[in-house]
Amino acid sequence: MTAAHTPDDRTLTTWWMCEPRRLHRDHEEITAQFPDLSWNETGAGSWEGRLPHWPFERPEPEHLTTWIGDEGLLLRMEYSQAYPMVAPRLIPVDPLPEPYEWTQTRWHVNGDASLCLLREDALWTGRDSVADLLLKAAGWRVEYALMKHRVIEQMTDNGIVDDDRFDHFLSRPPSPHDSTEHSHHERNGQENSAC
């Protein structure tokens, strides 16, 4: 690994230079469970790539791909220099939530377009696994499809990683009456700001 450089070429000490064991742990967990993500050590570092469309332990519902397609969420996971004390930001790239969804808690998207995967910041202790966040992000992709088809009105509080309550929707194809369009009122709706 090499040290990051500032524009005037002063050496910047990154979190991963101070926490090499944590970086090693993240690399092991991510490459084992999410082999399509690639590490980029620019700045504080990031991972980019596509998540599996169903990385959960329970069987994949029969018609999952008719809801979300063959591929999982394309995203970028950005560390800050405060990592591991501050959780990384997970930013969906494809699908990209619409701006009006960024300000409504039911979509679990923050105002900066990153995913809201923790109900409160205190749930991240600094010892948690980023792989768990990536699993939640894969689940967000599935719930996002259900929201866009208007099958559900609100994403679950804890996500669907261990919760099969929505699997029955995915065991059948979407109804032709399902709509991916939301009303003008919904697009302009201003609930409490995101998570």
- Please report the pLDDT score of residue 195 as a whole number: 61
Report the candidate in 38, 32, 41, 40 with the shortest Cα–Cα distance to residue 12: 41
Alpha-carbon Rg for the chain, nearest whole angstrom, is 18
User: What residues in the chain have per-residue pLDDT under 50?
Assistant: 1, 184, 193-194
What is the reported pLDDT for 180? 55
H or E element that contains 35:
none
Spatial distance between the Cα atoms of 173 and 64, rounded to a whole number of angstroms? 8
Convert the pLDDT of each residue in 126-178 to its tens digit: 999 999 999 999 999 999 999 999 999 999 999 999 999 999 999 999 987 66
Spatial neighbors of 84 by CB under 8 A, at least 6 apart, are 15, 19, 22, 126, 127
State residue 121's pLDDT score: 80
Residues, the chain: 195
DSSP assignment string, 163-181: --TTHHHHTSPPPTT--S-
CA distances from 132 to 20, 51, 55, 65, 159 (A): 20, 12, 11, 22, 11
Question: How far is Cα 101 from Cα 187, in angstroms, rounded to an integer?
Answer: 7
**pLDDT value at residue 74:** 98
The confidence score (pLDDT) of residue 6 equals 55
pLDDT of residue 178: 64
pLDDT at 193: 47
Q: Name the phi and psi angles at 52, rounded to 5.
A: -60, 150
Burial class (CB in 10 A: 0-12, 13-18, 19+), 50: middle
pLDDT of residue 188: 54
| Encoded amino acid at 70, one letter | D
Q: pLDDT at position 57, please?
A: 96
3-state secondary structure of 97: coil
